[in-house]
Amino acid sequence: MQVILLERVPKLGHMGEIVKVKDGFARNFLLPNHKALRATEANKAKFERDRSTLEARNTDARIAAEVEAKNIDGKTYVIIRQAGEGGHLYGSVSPRDIADAADAMGAHINKNHVHLSAPIKSIGVYEVEVAPHPEVTVKIKVNVARSPDEAAAQARGEVMIGAAADRAETRAAAEAIFAEAQADVQAEEDEGIETPKEAKAKRSKKKAEKAE
């Protein structure tokens, strides 16, 4: 089916363009959402008559969307869900859930503006695209966790997927490596061995003296 676009549609075209699309896409999405008209001669003439009005309306909508987008751009929204030990959710997180989480934090996101390539089915921190207008797109983060404490840990970069015992073992190993490195530095200082930090400072001092 050929249609006239009444606004920019990503990956399809800009306002006023006549494009060919699948009948189902036109009937189920473009036409009922007033994003396009069938490309009949009558509708072509109607579009040209209404073009200035449509362009002005689009400009107003874009400006409003830019204000909305500025309030959410880069923000993180936490969603608490039940999940198994391996991190798999009992259910999934949908655009509506993300919109509700934003509303709970005082921000407005229309669920139809949330673009998920697939439902979120595991705990973790996800980058999600929100497009309040075809010409305005921002990114937000969605932190899906089993508890507020777990959400805080994920925000710090900790990986919470896997058995609790495995996570504890990994954390203990990391802490042991850090402690060993600190002990080596302390031993070098006690023995009077120049540490990398001291060597760097000495090189900087010599460079400054040479410059003088």
Structure tokens at 168: 């504890």
pLDDT for 85 equals 87
Q: Based on the domain organization, do 100 and 31 belong to the same domain?
A: no
pLDDT for 188 equals 61
Average pLDDT over residues 162-191: 57
Mean pLDDT of the chain: 86
Q: Based on the domain organization, do 172 and 145 belong to the same domain?
A: no
- Total-model pTM: 0.66
pLDDT tens across 136-158, in order?
999 999 999 999 999 999 999 99
pLDDT band at 117 (very low <50, low <70, confident <90, very high): confident
Higher pLDDT among residues 189 and 168, named by residue: 189
Is 160:145 a contact under the CB 8 Å cutoff? yes
Q: Can you give the residue range of the structural domain that contains 192?
A: 164-211
pLDDT band at 170 (very low <50, low <70, confident <90, very high): very low
Q: What is the CATH number of the domain that holds 13?
A: 3.40.5.10
What residues pair up with 20 in beta bridges, in sequence order?
2
- Cβ atoms < 10 Å from Cβ of 97: 20
Q: Based on the domain organization, do 80 and 150 belong to the same domain?
A: yes
Q: Based on the domain organization, do 51 and 20 belong to the same domain?
A: yes
Q: What is the CATH number of the domain that holds 123?
A: 3.10.430.100
Question: Which domain-ending residue is among 155, 186, 203?
Answer: 155
Q: Based on the domain organization, do 187 and 145 belong to the same domain?
A: no
pLDDT tens across 75-111, in order?
999 999 999 989 999 999 999 999 999 999 989 899 9
Question: Which domain-ending residue is among 26, 48, 71?
Answer: 71
Higher pLDDT among residues 117 and 76, named by residue: 76
Average pLDDT over residues 51-64: 93
Report DSSP letters for the chain, one per residue: -EEEESS-BTTTB-TT-EEE--HHHIIIIITTTTSEEE--HHHHHHHHHHHHHHHHHHHHHHHHHHHHHHHHTT-EEEEE--B-TTSEEEEEE-HHHHHHHHHHTT----GGGEE-SS-EEESEEEEEEEEEETTEEEEEEEEEESSHHHHHHHHTT----S-HHHHHHHHHHHHHHHHHHHHHHHHHHHTTPPPHHHHHHHHHHHHHHHH-
Q: Based on the domain organization, do 36 and 59 belong to the same domain?
A: yes
Question: Which domain-ending residue is among 52, 71, 90?
Answer: 71
Please tell me the total count of domains within the chain. 3
Q: Based on the domain organization, do 142 and 178 belong to the same domain?
A: no
Average pLDDT over residues 105-119: 90
